[in-house]
Amino acid sequence: MSKVVLAIIIILVVITAPIWLFILYFLMSSLYSTNDVTSMAERLNQPWICYFAPFDQNCGTELPCRKPEVCFNNFAVKNKNYKACDYISVGGLSADKANIDLRNQCYLASGAPLRETAKKCFDISERESWSRGDCFGFFATQLKDQEVCQGIEDGEIRARCYLTYVKKIFNPDPNICAQVLPAKYIDDCYLQIAWNKKDLSLCQKIKDPETVKFCKNEILND
């Protein structure tokens, strides 16, 4: 076989590869369910096979509509292979809350080292700064350590991390609000802790009258 013919064959393979991959995806997503694809990935110990899991066109809000993400989660949790959680997309157009929450829970359930894994919150699209903060707050809460938030340079992300932390951690310290947060977030911080602890006295620390009223009403009506 001449070098010219070989070069032509290689070029044709490269050009047509996306078409063959699309055909393969179409066939697999038509013939196999998400559970089937997950089982196949587990048998072959290849999480990338989950990319061929079908999309759910009629899914609700409980799970992402991208079934490959659910497949990656199932693979990671069942095999205690937390690195498979990395495949769950949280960048670009996939930076929706469902995917982010699913990936965080995937790391938790598959035994990932949480302190190191918290750095993966930076994978979330830059335009989703509050989602990044929520992500760091998740790990701070799981580790019961606010230092996860302290190490964040971006002020908006750091503030959101603290707000998530005080909302979810057991018995949060109200002193956090005035000590570490910018002034514009202090009222919200007291609000979150007041709800968390069901403590009406913390509502009085809030400066905005409308927020004070809202804080008390939410606790009394809970």
- Residue pair 167/141 in contact (Cβ under 8 Å)? The answer is no
Question: Phi and psi (nearest 5°) for 211?
Answer: -70, -35
User: What's the pLDDT tens digit per position in 139-180?
Assistant: 999 999 999 998 898 989 999 999 999 999 988 999 999 999
- Please check the confidence at residue 64 and state whether its pLDDT lies above 50: no
Phi and psi torsions of 125, nearest 5°: -50, 140
How confident is residue 40, by pLDDT bands cut at 50, 70 and 90? confident
Which pTM does this prediction carry?
Answer: 0.77
Q: Phi and psi of 45, rounded to 5°?
A: 55, 45
